[in-house]
Amino acid sequence: MKVAVVGSTGLVGTKMLQVLAERNFPVTELIPVASEKSVGKEVEFKGKKYKVVSMQDCIAAKPAVAIFSAGGGTSLEWAPKFAEAGIRVIDNSSAWRMDPTKKLVVPEVNAAVLTKDDLIIANPNCSTIQMVVALQPLHLKYTIKRIVVSTYQSVTGTGKKAVDQLFNERKGVVGEMAYKYPIDLNVIPQIDVFLDNGYTKEEMKMVKETNKIMQDDSIRITATTVRIPVVGGHSESVNVEFENDFDLAELKNLLSKSAGIIVQDEPSQALYPMPLWAHEKDEVFVGRLRRDETQPNTLNMWIVSDNLRKGAATNAVQIAEYLLAKGII
Indicate which residues carry an active-site annotation: 126, 234
> Contact at 8 Å (CB) between 33 and 56?
no
The Cα–Cα gap between 223 and 39 comes to 40
CA distances from 244 to 12, 135, 217, 249, 298 (A): 39, 14, 18, 15, 9
Dihedral through CA 173, CA 179, CA 183, CA 187, nearest 10? Answer: 170
Residue 60's contacts (CB-CB under 8 Å, 6 or more residues apart) are none
A 10 A CB-CB count for 22 gives 15
Pick from 69, 10, 18, 9: which is nearest to 39 by CA?
A: 9
CA 103 to chain centre: 15
The Cα–Cα gap between 281 and 283 comes to 6
b/e map of 99-134 (b: 16 or more CB within 10 Å)?
A: eeebbbbbbbbbbeebeeebbbbbbbbbbbbbbbbb
Q: Which residue type sits at 14?
A: T
List beta partners, residue 290: 300
